[in-house]
Structure 1
Amino acid sequence: MPKVLSEKDVQSRPGLQDWRVVARRLHGTFRTGSMVAGIDLVRRIGDLAEQMNHHPDIDLRYYRVHVVLTTHDAGGLTENDVTLANRISALAAELGIDAEPARASRVEIAVDAIDIAAVLPFWQAVLGYKKEVPAGETQESSVDLTDPDGRRPNVWFQQMDVRRPQRNRIHVDVHVPHDVAEARVAAAVEAGGHVVTAGYAPSWWVLADPEENEVCVCTWQARD
């Protein structure tokens, strides 16, 4: 398995001026100016990825292509990510496409909890996420929940010693297809949560985990 590199090491590497390390991943944004140019860039990046057998996450938008690199098997950044980033930058330069490194960003959600082991299964069920142990951590020290498709924010859990007096320490809206909402609610309840109110269903259900952190499961229905 490739060695995991420190974030400082990766960001200080020469040739990575187009990239930024954000939340344990290497992000690059390239302004293509059109959908056609973006599709061409994505196709060429795909060819590079196949040659290396190392595959990035790619987000294609009308004016931009955003690329995120990590080595999933290693749980962090490795030399494979650095090499592919350099090759993508060279490709973009060859095509006359400028990088926009300042646009790198990532959203994560933090949940304060006293008993993380009791709270985590609820959030995994209601979001449909998978567990991921960050590089350098163990199952006992730190577990994130991540979207299997890599599109939605990660969730991480902050250990608390004393319950805060506030009613709620976090609130998240989870928008799902209307035909899976009830199953998602049921899975969350089975994982240790409870329904606070179904009075707004099928527009949304308000649920809470074992420590009363709330989440709304939302659909498009009945919003006229």
Structure 2
Amino acid sequence: MTHTESGAARIRPRRFHESAGVADWRVVGEGACAYFRTGSFAAGARFVQAIAELPGSEDGHPDVDVRREGVTVRLITVTDDYYGLTGLHVEQARRISAAARALGLTADPSAVQTVQVTVDALDGPAVVAFWRALLGYRDRANSGEDLIDPRRRGAPFYFQRMDEPRPQRNRVHVDVWVPYDEAEARIAAALAAGGRLVNDADAPSNWVLADPEGNEACVGVAGPPEPAADHV
């Protein structure tokens, strides 16, 4: 394990993806996530019990969502001053994947995604204060422009500063974070369903799409690994 992967050292999504033994996992907008198909609630419950018994589970406290079809596991550190990944999550991901294999479960990275609501605002603090109170959310790592659900259930909200009103376009849109290797297929499906590409200047990390009536949405990916270098 490299120094950057050790202990509680903070790491970027690219570093996570480039680590060995994390092929089941994808970093999206809200941490490193994996989806394991179980086929039954009972099988999912057995898997969750196995995760709970793994070393380090109390320190990393993974978020787990159990459904009849499968189990989603999310790894992320949430503190007052940090919202992201650490080297601990690399080792946790390896152990969780090993526990899944021991139970005969397979991962489906294509099933992973997170959704964020983005609001354009002229007076950011005033708008954030309203949504913070309405949703019962709190600031993300002391950020003045991000709100998260303290119970880690609902979609996060991001507030994007505007310099002047833009009445010609919508001011609330959805950000869909998908695995880096699923973005092209998801965009193609949206375009085939009647959407249009508005802007790809930030590809391959972000694309802006619009539905047939002009309502916008963004597709984002986090930290794909560097492509292997060609050797001659």
Same fold (TM over 0.5): yes
1:146-169, Cα deviation, whole Å (9 max, x unpaired): 111111100001111111124862
Question: Given the superposition, is the C-alpha separation of residues 171 and 78 from structure 1 closer, same or farther in structure 2, using an over 3 Å criterion?
Answer: closer
Question: Given the superposition, is the C-alpha separation of residues 171 and 77 from structure 1 closer, same or farther in structure 2, using an over 3 Å criterion?
Answer: closer
What CA distance in whole angstroms lies between the structure 1 residues aligned with 2:28 and 2:21?
Answer: 17
What CA distance in whole angstroms lies between the structure 1 residues aligned with 2:40 and 2:137?
Answer: 33
- Is the radius of gyration larger for structure 1 or structure 2? 1
- Note if contact 2:56-2:92 (Cα within 8 Å) is conserved in structure 1: no
What CA distance in whole angstroms lies between the structure 1 residues aligned with 2:78 and 2:55?
Answer: 14
Question: Given the superposition, is the C-alpha separation of residues 145 and 69 from structure 1 closer, same or farther in structure 2, using an over 3 Å criterion?
Answer: same
Q: Which structure has the higher relative contact order (CA within 8 Å, separation 6+)? A: 2
- Note if contact 1:24-1:77 (Cα within 8 Å) is conserved in structure 2: no
The answer to whether structure 1 residue 43 and structure 2 residue 49 are counterparts is yes
Amino-acid identity (%): 42
The answer to whether structure 1 residue 21 and structure 2 residue 23 are counterparts is no
What CA distance in whole angstroms lies between the structure 2 residues aligned with 1:126 and 1:37?
Answer: 37
Gap regions ≥5 residues in structure 1: 173-224
The equivalent of 1:34 in structure 2 is: 40
The answer to whether structure 1 residue 11 and structure 2 residue 13 are counterparts is no
What CA distance in whole angstroms lies between the structure 1 residues aligned with 2:137 and 2:57?
Answer: 30
- Note if contact 2:37-2:107 (Cα within 8 Å) is conserved in structure 1: yes
The answer to whether structure 1 residue 97 and structure 2 residue 99 are counterparts is no
Aligned residue pairs total 166
Question: Given the superposition, is the C-alpha separation of residues 16 and 171 from structure 1 closer, same or farther in structure 2, using an over 3 Å criterion?
Answer: closer
Question: Given the superposition, is the C-alpha separation of residues 78 and 55 from structure 1 closer, same or farther in structure 2, using an over 3 Å criterion?
Answer: same
| Structure 1 SS opposite 2:158 | strand
Gap regions ≥5 residues in structure 2: 1-6, 175-232
Q: 1:121 aligns with which of 125, 129, 132?
A: 129
The equivalent of 1:165 in structure 2 is: 167
Equivalent residue letter for 1:87? R
Q: 1:111 aligns with which of 114, 119, 130?
A: 119
Question: Given the superposition, is the C-alpha separation of residues 67 and 162 from structure 1 closer, same or farther in structure 2, using an over 3 Å criterion?
Answer: same
Equivalent residue letter for 1:155? F
CA displacement at 1:50 relative to structure 2: 5.6
| Structure 1 SS opposite 2:73 | strand
The equivalent of 1:72 in structure 2 is: 78
What CA distance in whole angstroms lies between the structure 2 residues aligned with 1:126 and 1:57?
Answer: 24
| Structure 2 SS opposite 1:77 | strand
Q: 2:61 aligns with which of 55, 77, 88?
A: 55
Question: Given the superposition, is the C-alpha separation of residues 171 and 75 from structure 1 closer, same or farther in structure 2, using an over 3 Å criterion?
Answer: closer
Relative to the length of structure 2, the TM-score reads 0.66
- Note if contact 1:130-1:146 (Cα within 8 Å) is conserved in structure 2: yes
What CA distance in whole angstroms lies between the structure 1 residues aligned with 2:134 and 2:16?
Answer: 35
What CA distance in whole angstroms lies between the structure 2 residues aligned with 1:96 and 1:47?
Answer: 17
The equivalent of 1:179 in structure 2 is: none
What CA distance in whole angstroms lies between the structure 2 residues aligned with 1:3 and 1:159?
Answer: 31
The equivalent of 2:193 in structure 1 is: none
- Note if contact 1:107-1:154 (Cα within 8 Å) is conserved in structure 2: yes
- Note if contact 2:36-2:107 (Cα within 8 Å) is conserved in structure 1: yes
- Structure 1 segments of 4+ aligned residues over 4 angstroms from their partners: 49-52
